[in-house]
């Protein structure tokens, strides 16, 4: 076992510079102490936004000013907490910041409903009267476009009181799934007993020992299967809630309501499902290659996650990863690469693990400062891709902050994974271009194929399931465990084809997907991934014009609707073309894999 250092012993050259946010904790305390007075200023605006354009402008500006100052405080407290979650001082600061965030949200909660109540005509008049409102034009449009689905005050009040009831299915799912469902002990790779948990299931699924995978898989689904009727009851209640709110607010379906949050038309969702369906033969072919490479006579669902190519002598030091990653950025131009390099060398990244550091990797930051990236770099090829991924997020933030006002400083979830995926795709393309070694090529291609399967195909399969379930419920079909499992098994057969075994256990997989309680959400992973692959393709084949469009996109933040922003990046999500372009890359990789294996 390697020694994991304490935070105080971690090498400062590889730590992020949180002092760029606040030089000392004392500075933070002084800033934090000023928040209540800031917040109190909202009270004088409540109920008076309609008085004049100036009044509305000052309220929106106040929200931005207070938001910008508070975000910096909030981010600092949490970054310090995440770097050492055992540090009680920063735990307390993060808790105080959370409590204050809730108060701040409450203090300005009147803004949106009051603006919506002003209506389109008043807002249009205000916009003519005051040029200062121009910057808020998109924000206001985004609020007002929902106004036709806002009910009168008594019905809105009633709906607001149902919100807790509506959250019950998800809350009970969490309790059942994470607390009450106890998984058994199984025999692991070293022959000793280990408790199966939701957290370690994936590592069992990646085991090269097939019996270990089988035992974990059977234990997972046999345990879940004992509660399948309860899971079905919860999911049905969740779907019923989605359909109820959609109908009450005058949407044609829960799909239309969910997509309207991003102003995304239904066809984007249906195009995704249709295009993925057209490329299923390529996925089936990949399954046949997987089966052959693993040397099994039947490919079972527990054979899906084990890499079919062992990691080829691949340890990548952090410095080497930085070098390879920077070289892969060539298609984005010298300025982008230089900004990335300066960020990596300038205290954006917290590189290595230390005791009690938050696991995994993430990117975050505060407008007016710079992005921050947390890694737990171990030197696997995977870690190099994580570096590229998180730095993609960081550069999206940096370029957005350089162009946009605070109001549009965040990018929407629909676009969030585009920049990270573009970076990963450019890195893998560069690695493939630079290596003729067959084993290495096979390893990189396998990595890429798995990303496609996990992000594009699997999330689309989920998306299709959600659509089937909501439509069935809308047509008064009861969503019993058997009905849901039959739906799911049908989709599993469709996606994996005859090459993989759809058994009775996998038919219950719907029961253990937490995202299903956040309806019509996972499709964004698949559309974002497709858009990014299409952009990476254009960057590599088209050059300068594609680069200019993409850099423009990265500076967009949330200043326009996601579909419009992608259109300016050259990706028309209202057509199936970007999905097809991405899937063609997948099909090409499958063909190459066939010759390599």
Binding region for Zn ion (CB under 5 A): 420
- Rounded distance between C-alpha atoms, residue 196 and residue 198, angstroms: 7
**For Zn ion, which is the closer residue by CB, 361 or 511?**
361
Give the dihedral of Cα atoms 292, 297, 298, 302; nearest 10 deg.
-70
Helix runs in 330-457, H state only: 334-345, 381-403, 413-416, 418-434, 438-451
CA–CA distances in Å: residue 175 to residues 171, 484, 554: 6, 21, 39
| Residue 552 annotated among the catalytic residues of the structure | no
Q: How far is it between the farthest Cα atoms of the chain?
A: 76
Q: What is the DSSP string of 252-275?
A: S-HHHHHHHTTT--HHHHHHHHHH
Q: Three-state DSSP class for 371?
A: strand
Please report how close the Cβ of residue 392 comes to Zn ion at its closest, in angstroms: 8
- Rounded distance between C-alpha atoms, residue 445 and residue 79, angstroms: 35
Catalytic residue among 83, 114, 300, 390: 390
**For Zn ion, which is the closer residue by CB, 244 or 521?**
521
Structure tokens at 568: 């300016």
**For Zn ion, which is the closer residue by CB, 421 or 474?**
421
**For Zn ion, which is the closer residue by CB, 238 or 420?**
420
Of 27, 6, 12, which Cα lies nearest the Cα of 85? 6
Please report how close the Cβ of residue 422 comes to Zn ion at its closest, in angstroms: 11
Please report how close the Cβ of residue 421 comes to Zn ion at its closest, in angstroms: 8
Of 338, 173, 279, which Cα lies nearest the Cα of 526? 279
Please report how close the Cβ of residue 407 comes to Zn ion at its closest, in angstroms: 23
H or E segment to which residue 362 belongs = strand 362-365
Structure tokens at 564: 């419009």
**For Zn ion, which is the closer residue by CB, 456 or 590?**
456
**For Zn ion, which is the closer residue by CB, 420 or 559?**
420
Please report how close the Cβ of residue 129 comes to Zn ion at its closest, in angstroms: 42
Q: What is the DSSP string of 539-593?
A: HHHH-HHHHHHHHHHHT-TTSS-HHHHHHHTT--TTSSHHHHHHHHHHHHHHHHH
**For Zn ion, which is the closer residue by CB, 420 or 530?**
420
Which residue has the CB atom at the shortest distance from Zn ion?
Answer: 420
Cβ pair 535, 570 in contact under 8 A: yes
- Determine whether 160 is exposed, middle or buried from the number of CB atoms within 10 Å of its CB (0-12, 13-18, 19+): exposed
**For Zn ion, which is the closer residue by CB, 207 or 420?**
420
Q: Three-state DSSP class for 296?
A: coil
- Rounded distance between C-alpha atoms, residue 575 and residue 584, angstroms: 15
Place of tokens 């085991």: 207
**For Zn ion, which is the closer residue by CB, 93 or 395?**
395
Beta-sheet strands, E only, within 168-282: 185-187, 193-195
CA angle 405, 411, 413 (to 5 degrees): 160
Of 17, 61, 22, 57, which Cα lies nearest the Cα of 38? 61
Please report how close the Cβ of residue 386 comes to Zn ion at its closest, in angstroms: 9
Structure tokens at 229: 């009727």
Please report how close the Cβ of residue 387 comes to Zn ion at its closest, in angstroms: 12
CA–CA distances in Å: residue 485 to residues 198, 215, 234, 277, 490: 21, 21, 14, 20, 8
- Rounded distance between C-alpha atoms, residue 560 and residue 546, angstroms: 20
Q: Which residues pair with 350 in a beta bridge?
A: 374
Please report how close the Cβ of residue 424 comes to Zn ion at its closest, in angstroms: 9
Rg (alpha carbons) of the chain, rounded to whole number: 25
Structure tokens at 444: 């990189």
**For Zn ion, which is the closer residue by CB, 22 or 325?**
325
Structure tokens at 68: 């910008």
- Rounded distance between C-alpha atoms, residue 510 and residue 144, angstroms: 36
**For Zn ion, which is the closer residue by CB, 42 or 525?**
525
Please report how close the Cβ of residue 75 comes to Zn ion at its closest, in angstroms: 17
Please report how close the Cβ of residue 79 comes to Zn ion at its closest, in angstroms: 17
Place of tokens 């590229």: 388
Please report how close the Cβ of residue 100 comes to Zn ion at its closest, in angstroms: 27
Task: List active site positions.
Answer: 390
């Amino acid at each position: 076992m390697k020694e994991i250092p304490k935070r105080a012993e971690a090498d400062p050259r590889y730590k992020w510079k949180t002092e760029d946010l606040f030089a000392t904790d004392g500075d933070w305390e002084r800033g934090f102490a000023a928040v209540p007075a800031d917040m109190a200023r909202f009270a004088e605006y409540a109920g008076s936004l309609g008085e004049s354009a100036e009044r509305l402008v000052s309220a929106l500006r106040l929200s931005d000013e207070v938001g910008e100052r508070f975000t910096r405080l909030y981010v600092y407290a949490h970054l310090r907490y995440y770097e050492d979650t055992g540090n009680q001082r920063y735990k307390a600061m993060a808790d105080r910041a959370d409590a204050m965030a809730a108060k701040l949200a409450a203090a300005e909660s009147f803004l949106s409903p009051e603006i919506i109540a002003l209506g389109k005509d008043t807002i249009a008049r205000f916009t003519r009267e005051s040029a200062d409102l121009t910057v808020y034009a998109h924000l206001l449009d985004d609020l007002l476009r929902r106004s036709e689905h806002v009910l009168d005050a008594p019905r809105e009040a009633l709906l607001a009181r149902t919100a807790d009831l509506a959250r019950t299915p998800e809350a009970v799912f969490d309790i059942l799934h994470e607390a009450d469902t106890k998984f058994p002990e199984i025999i692991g790779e070293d022959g000793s007993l280990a408790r199966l948990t939701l957290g370690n299931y994936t590592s069992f699924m990646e085991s090269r020992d097939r019996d270990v995978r089988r035992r974990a898989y059977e234990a997972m689904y046999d345990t879940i299967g004992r509660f399948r009727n309860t899971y079905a009851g919860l999911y049905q209640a969740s779907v019923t809630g989605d359909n109820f709110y959609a109908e009450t607010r005058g949407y044609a379906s829960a799909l239309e309501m969910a997509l309207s949050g991003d102003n995304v038309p239904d066809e984007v969702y249906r195009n995704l499902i249709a295009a993925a369906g057209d490329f299923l033969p390529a996925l089936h072919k990949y399954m046949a290659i997987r089966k052959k490479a693993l040397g099994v006579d039947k490919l079972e669902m527990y054979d899906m996650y084990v890499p079919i190519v062992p990691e080829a002598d691949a340890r990548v030091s952090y410095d080497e990863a930085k070098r390879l990653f920077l070289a892969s950025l060539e298609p984005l131009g010298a300025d982008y690469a230089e900004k990335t390099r300066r960020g990596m060398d300038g205290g954006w990244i917290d590189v290595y693990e230390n005791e009690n550091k938050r696991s995994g990797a993430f990117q975050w930051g505060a407008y007016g400062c710079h992005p921050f990236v947390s890694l737990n770099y171990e030197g696997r090829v995977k870690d190099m891709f994580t570096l590229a991924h998180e730095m993609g997020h960081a550069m999206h933030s940096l370029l957005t902050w350089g162009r946009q006002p605070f109001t549009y400083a965040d990018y929407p979830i629909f676009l969030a994974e585009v920049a990270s995926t573009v970076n990963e795709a450019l890195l893998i393309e560069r690695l493939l271009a630079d290596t003729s070694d067959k084993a290495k090529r096979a390893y990189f291609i396998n990595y890429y194929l798995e990303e496609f399967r996990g992000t594009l195909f699997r999330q689309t399969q989920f998306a299709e399931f959600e659509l089937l379930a909501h439509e069935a419920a809308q047509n008064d079909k009861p969503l019993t465990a058997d009905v849901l499992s039959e739906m799911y098994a049908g989709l599993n057969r469709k996606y994996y084809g005859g090459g993989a075994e759809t058994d009775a256990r996998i038919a219950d997989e719907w029961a253990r997907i937490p995202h299903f309680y956040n309806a019509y959400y996972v499709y964004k992973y698949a559309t974002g991934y497709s858009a990014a692959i299409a952009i990476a393709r254009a960057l590599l084949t088209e050059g300068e014009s594609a680069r200019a469009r993409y850099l423009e996109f990265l500076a967009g933040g949330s200043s326009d609707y996601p579909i419009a922003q992608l259109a300016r990046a050259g990706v028309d999500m209202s057509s199936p073309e970007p999905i097809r372009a991405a899937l063609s890359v997948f099909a090409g990789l499958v063909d190459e894999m066939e010759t390599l294996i």
